[in-house]
Structure 1
Amino acid sequence: MDTAIVFATSLFIAVLAAAGFAPAQADWNKGTATFYGGADASGTMGGACGYGNLYAAGYGTNTAALSSVLFNDGWSCGQCYLIMCDGAATPQWCRAGAAVTVTATNLCPPNWALPNNNGGWCNPPRPHFDMAEPAWLQIGIYKAGIIPVLYQQVKCWRQGGIRFTVGGFNFFELVLVSNVAGSGSVRSVSVKGGSTGWITLNRNWGANWQCNSGLVGQPLSFAVTSTGGQTLYAYNVVPSWWTFGMTFTSNQQFSY
């Protein structure tokens, strides 16, 4: 990293620290960013993490689809990244002094028909963010289309507690764990019914965790461990009268 970038990023980190935002790591990484989903971000709903309606899920429009090298087969779902346009590389396409924190909610798949440096922006090994348009416009000029960025993973801040959406049918439960603060992503999940012991869930896809047990009619408790290493217990967060498709919010939240 050259002297101009070191000075700019050091100054920026100092400003963030003064404002109470502490970066998770000292070094910034280089990547690129494009945008998708339209001016209202309606095209970003759903996605490879399974959060569905991002407004209802609490993520809003500050979201991004990650290239496969960052997405890590879905283990990065929910993580937060502080991103700023690399003004030292393309000052004409950057909003000076601006930065935005986005949540990983989707995968930007590779496009093998195009070269990595000409349209295949999400091809390995490129670290790339395909950001919701409103988020991207906070740091870049629309006409640019693609900009070089400096980024780092940071702590996530969420309103309220961890949310559990219980999908599935009969003896198959698919639990979406969302609104995760701290590291933002989940390492492991276990469930306990009113008449069962703790059952380890397997991650099915994105932020969805799978269980093959007859839990209908039982209150459910969850033990969730974040990728930051913190474990929280949400006892009886799901009442016995739950039905598939319902979402329940705990009063627990991660701090790291």
Structure 2
Amino acid sequence: MWADGACGYGNQISAGYGYITTALSTPLFSGGDTCGACFQVRCWGDGGCLNGNPSILVTATNLCPPGSNGGWCDPPRQHFDLSQPAFSQIAQIPVGHVSIQFRRVSCLRSGDIQYTINGHTFFNLVLISNVGGAGDVASVAIKGSNTGWRTMQRNWGQNWQDESYLNGQSLSFRVTTSDGRTVTTYDVAPANWQFGQRFSGGQF
């Protein structure tokens, strides 16, 4: 599981998040609820910040677990373990750690929401990625062409599961983000979909 990161995104480039990303300490990660959320992060102070105390927009794509990164990620600290490309845009790399200010912001994504369908018969595991707006998915519902809407359960990160037989049916999804906004996209996956495939549709 952890080879794909604690959010399950795997290759962050193909998932739509690029290189400007961050892992979050446990209090900010919230058990995976915050996966996909966007933050504006500003270097603050004079201890290693680049001139002008610049800011960047980053996406939360992983957990910085307790006991790692020299204890900086231990609760109750609210810590951002920025990717090196992200850190280099606000501070001098050799410094390693800087004080920051941060706030939640909306996510602007290129393209549609991505649905990667994994699992096997009677166990549908769908990774939801490249989500705009609030960015972090709070609930998902799935509908086969021969079924009604079914509420999916969070398995881990942004992987959502449904234990029903949906083989041979086109699939529709209803995605709700933490701000209560919902996007419903019909027939995202055609009836001949296969496990391991990725499909796109809808966006905030």
- Pick the TM interval, shorter chain: over 0.9
3-state SS of paired residue (2:71): coil
Aligned to 2:33: 75
Computing the radius of gyration over CA atoms, which structure comes out larger, 1 or 2? 1
3-state SS of paired residue (1:177): strand
* 1:204 counterpart letter in structure 2: N
Any idea what the Cα deviations from partners look like across 1:53-99, whole Å, max 9, x if unmatched? 01111111100000000000000000001101112xxx140012311
Aligned to 1:154: 105
Distance 1:238 1:96 in 2: 48
The 5 A counterparts of 1:221-236 are 221-236=172-187
3-state SS of paired residue (1:105): strand
Tell me, yes or no, if structure 1 residue 64 matches structure 2 residue 17: no
1:110 is displaced (CA, Å) by 0.3
Aligned to 2:51: 96
The 5 A counterparts of 1:43-192 are 46-87=4-45, 91-97=46-52, 98-111=54-67, 119-192=70-143
Q: Contact between 1:63 and 1:131, CA under 8 Å: does it hold in 2? A: yes
3-state SS of paired residue (2:143): strand
Any idea what the Cα deviations from partners look like across 1:179-236, whole Å, max 9, x if unmatched? 0011000111000001111111000000000000010110000111111111111101
Distance 1:166 1:134 in 2: 30
Q: Contact between 1:46 and 1:54, CA under 8 Å: does it hold in 2? A: no
Distance 1:224 1:83 in 2: 27
Unaligned stretches of 5+ in structure 1? 1-44
Percent of residue pairs bearing the same amino acid type: 51
* 1:96 counterpart letter in structure 2: N
* 1:201 counterpart letter in structure 2: M
Distance 2:164 2:131 in 1: 25
Normalised TM-score (structure 1): 0.77
| Structure ranking higher in helix proportion | 1
1:176 is displaced (CA, Å) by 0.5
Aligned to 2:203: 253
3-state SS of paired residue (2:29): helix
3-state SS of paired residue (2:147): coil
1:46 is displaced (CA, Å) by 2.7
Aligned to 1:15: none
* 2:178 counterpart letter in structure 1: T
Aligned residues: 202
Q: Contact between 2:47 and 2:98, CA under 8 Å: does it hold in 1? A: no
1:239 is displaced (CA, Å) by 0.4
3-state SS of paired residue (1:151): strand
